[in-house]
Amino acid sequence: MKVALLISGGVDSAVATELLLRQGHELHLFYIRIGMDNGEGDCSAEEDIEMCTLIARKYGLPFRVVSLHQEYWNYVMKYALDTVKQGLTPHPDMMCNKMIKFGFFEERWGHEFDAVATGHYASIVEKDGLKYLATAVDPVKDQTDFLAQISYDQLKHLIFPLGELPKAEVRRLAMDARLPNATRKDSQGICFLGKIDYNDFIERHLGIRKGPIIELETGKKLGEHRGFWFYTIGQRKGLGLSGGPWYVVRKNVRDNVVYVSNGYDTAAQYGRELHLGEMHWITRNPMPEDGAPFSVAFKNRHTPHFADGELTLLPDGNYLLRSQEDIQGIAPGQFAIIYSPDRTLCLGSAQILPPPQKRKPKQNGK
């Protein structure tokens, strides 16, 4: 097949190159330059592009750098800022995959190829004539939670060469193939920011608006924050409070108040109900026609751990996900990723909504 491979300069996409060539595919390498050159979220890409160029030269493959700067601003960075301003927690990496890598790239360049490939740790399986997004064999590296908003049409045109390999094996293959980035460290940056600090990005665009940090149980003022948009539900670090651990458990956007609770096991950190809206099923809607609860596994953050629960369609078209275990840090704006009960198939995802009829905590500290 004639395949467009999206490479990043990292070891994963480099090994994907090696594997696809072994399988006999005709490869064309692409690097997507994203971020803004005017300083608004610009990614430091030159080192990555240089590494991609070395990979292309090693294998004698065509390599092209394509730009999706403005699209990235309009559909990823703007989404992230708008979500944060509402007091919610965004998932920009998920939007990047849906809108940029498998959206605009596909429309402008990828459609000319038989398939588009990436170095994501995920798999694709076929059942009853349909393709499904499947989890990778490496539970720690599995990235299906970042892919759970892609469409079925996008999925049908994708290849994930690394889904059946543990990370250690990918590193070994890179060493055996003498890839120039075999020992390069994995990127730890957020997709839409690259090497830019997240708080610096938020401050640049939303500024600072100081407000009180209040203990949820007592209403006592413990300190001052720089603006509710710097904090997410479940956050522990960066609060600047003594006598911790302290966790962010609630935010009052209107009054710019951040509520915290003390202790590793405080009940205020946990919940068993996730209210979901805008459900997106990748391949098909698996819900029973009679409206009965549907058993699922799920995640509400990037983690190797799955929780079990029951998903119910509500009369208003939203969903209620009841977990069988306590879930820490349920952050509205983030996504619940829905899996088959055996944890093999990623079925889709939905945005976590604020709990209905949320009571306002008392605030008597000054």
Reduced to 3 states, what is the DSSP secondary structure of residue 61?
coil
312 neighbors 338 (Cβ within 8 angstroms) = no
* Four-point Cα dihedral 229, 230, 233, 238, nearest 10: -160
HSE at residue 298, side-chain half, CA atoms within 13 A, is 30
To the nearest 10 degrees (0 to 180), the angle between helices 198-206 and 78-85 is 70
Element (H, E) at 66: strand 63-67
- What DSSP state is assigned to residue 128? T
CA 95 distance to own-chain centroid: 8
Q: How far is CA 272 from CA 201, 268, 279, 355, in A?
A: 33, 11, 19, 11
Reduced to 3 states, what is the DSSP secondary structure of residue 80?
helix
One-letter amino acid identity for 330?
I
- Among the listed residues 43, 52, 191, 346, the single catalytic one is 191
Report the distance separating Cα 117 and Cα 13, nearest Å.
Answer: 9
**DSSP-assigned beta bridge partners for residue 280:** 349
- Among the listed residues 43, 52, 96, 346, the single catalytic one is 96
CA torsion sign for 79, 332, 299, 239 is: positive
Report the distance separating Cα 88 and Cα 183, nearest Å.
Answer: 37
One-letter amino acid identity for 152?
Y
To the query of whether residue 346 is one of the catalytic residues in this protein, the response is no
Which amino acids are annotated catalytic? 96, 191
